[in-house]
Amino acid sequence: MPELGAGERHLEPERHSGQEQHSWKELPRRLTEMALALWKNFLQITMKRILQQRRLSLYNGAHGYEEEVIKKKLQQFSGGSINLSKEDNGIAILTLNNPKLMNAFSGTMMVELQEKVTELENWKDGKGLIIHGAGNTFCSGSDLNVVKEISNSQDGMNMCMFMQNTLTRLMRLPLISVALVQGKAFGGGAELTTACDFRLMTPGSEIRFVHKHMGLAPGWGGGARLVRIVGSGAALQLLGGAARVEPERARSLGLSEATLGAAEESGALAEARAWLGQYTEGPAAVIRAVKKVVAAGRELPLEVALRTEKDIFGTVWGGPANLQALVRRPKHK
Ligand SMILES: CC[C@@H](C(=O)O)C(=O)SCCNC(=O)CCNC(=O)[C@H](O)C(C)(C)COP(=O)(O)OP(=O)(O)OC[C@H]1O[C@@H](n2cnc3c(N)ncnc32)[C@H](O)[C@@H]1OP(=O)(O)O
């Protein structure tokens, strides 16, 4: 062994007592436990972030999205209105009201749609929503007079982000939503139908993603949602072909749930109410919980969706409706 200088010492391999040798063997298990704990912590943080994100808009300042600036620009283009009627039975009717222009969206209608979605987010007794157009037609997309005025990149991107924010919030409302399609749902109007949970069509009505003919692709989120509704192949055909989708084809694609008997407004609305009523019968808290569970399953990664479902379950378990049912003991014949 070489001689050491003052203050130096031999670096001997550490010798361990029996107990210390035992703890080294435990190391893989302890490391696994630590890794698992870290993974669970990561998942919980991710879930919290996703849930927070879901409450925040899709776009914000980080994306160069200045909402007040955009709203001010859109409000320069007036015309038509978005009317909302919230009923005691928990069903709301939202009417796209610009019949002179086939219910095309003016700038002020885009801003009003956002305001109505905010009102619906704050309606705690809401269970269902029917969106339809005035004058026996659904919606012809953006008002082309407005489109001409905002055809520059910045304004176009701003309108795109504004409408995506609004339609994403519409899609996530804790209400079961139906687009009642009479007449034409073209361009942005077709995209609006995909932000609803269901579409019901009247005889002779048509959903058509005409974007290609406008030198465009969808911009209100309708492309992404269409893929989730009909699959990527059918979505590519409908978008690439700017295809006319009449009630029968819509049914076969799963784009529409039913073709109604009535073509005129009052009859079609009555049928749509009856159809939706099948799924909104019951306490608002329960119907809203059901929609939230499905919305989570539709959008979130499985483990996050499961934890979200657990949290939602906790809001109804032992609640008034649950306790009353336990007393009633309904027979599900
Ligand atoms: C992200 C997509 C989004 C965007 O890029 O911002 C869009 O949605 S772009 C717009 C896409 N929509 C269209 O291109 C539809 C254009 N309109 C039509 O194809 C037809 O109007 C119709 C919907 C098939 C109905 O045809 P018809 O029944 O023959 O009625 P008219 O054509 O006579 O329409 C009546 C009246 O309404 C005016 N109109 C219709 N759609 C729009 C619109 N999108 N913007 C502005 N004005 C529209 C039409 O011009 C008629 O008015 P008058 O000419 O004054 O009579």
pLDDT digits (tens, 9 = 90+) for 179-203: 999 999 999 999 999 999 999 999 9
The residues lining ligand 1, judged by C-beta closer than 6 Å to any ligand atom, are 101-102, 104, 140-145, 147, 184, 186-188, 210-211, 214, 216, 218-220
Above 70 in pLDDT, residue 265?
yes
- Cα separation, 133 vs 154, in Å, equals 29
pLDDT digits (tens, 9 = 90+) for 38-73: 666 665 555 555 544 445 678 888 888 899 999 999
**Pair 267, 289 in one domain:** no
Above 60 in pLDDT, residue 20?
no
Tell me if 200 sits within 8 A of 181, measured CB to CB: yes
Average pLDDT, the chain: 90
Whole-number pLDDT of residue 1: 42
Above 60 in pLDDT, residue 6?
no
**Pair 267, 288 in one domain:** no
Residue 28 lies in a domain: no
CA 327–ligand 1 middle distance (angstroms): 56
The most distant pair of C-alpha atoms in the chain lies apart, rounded to whole Å, by 105
Q: Which spans in 102-221 are helix H?
A: 107-121, 144-149, 153-171, 188-194
- Cα separation, 289 vs 51, in Å, equals 15
Index of the ligand 1 atom closest to the CA of residue 163: 1
**Pair 123, 216 in one domain:** yes
**Pair 124, 169 in one domain:** yes
Residue 26 lies in a domain: no
More confident residue, 3 or 215: 215
Whole-number pLDDT of residue 5: 46
CA 188–ligand 1 middle distance (angstroms): 11
Percent of residues in the chain assigned helix, strand, coil, to nearest 5 = 55, 15, 30
**Pair 183, 258 in one domain:** yes
Q: Which domain holds residue 81?
A: 62-280
Residue 99 lies in a domain: yes
Residue 197 DSSP class: S
CA 292–ligand 1 middle distance (angstroms): 35
Q: Give the torsion sign (CA, 156, 162, 163, 168).
A: positive
Which residue lies with its CA nearest to atom 47 of ligand 1? 101
- Cα separation, 29 vs 54, in Å, equals 37
Whichever domain contains 221, its CATH number is: 3.90.226.10
Specify the 3-state DSSP secondary structure of 18.
helix
- Cα separation, 124 vs 104, in Å, equals 30
**Pair 230, 314 in one domain:** no
Whole-number pLDDT of residue 61: 84
What percent of the chain clears pLDDT 90, i.e. is strictly above it?
Answer: 78
Number of domains comprising the chain: 2
**Pair 274, 309 in one domain:** no
Whole-number pLDDT of residue 53: 46
Residue type, 143: D
Residue 254 lies in a domain: yes
- Cα separation, 320 vs 310, in Å, equals 18
Residue 39 lies in a domain: no
pLDDT digits (tens, 9 = 90+) for 213-257: 999 999 999 999 999 999 999 999 999 999 999 999 999 999 999
Index of the ligand 1 atom closest to the CA of residue 156: 6
Tell me if 206 sits within 8 A of 247, measured CB to CB: no
Among 84-98, 157-171, 316-330, where is mean pLDDT lowest?
316-330
- Cα separation, 236 vs 212, in Å, equals 11
CA 311–ligand 1 middle distance (angstroms): 45
**Pair 68, 130 in one domain:** yes
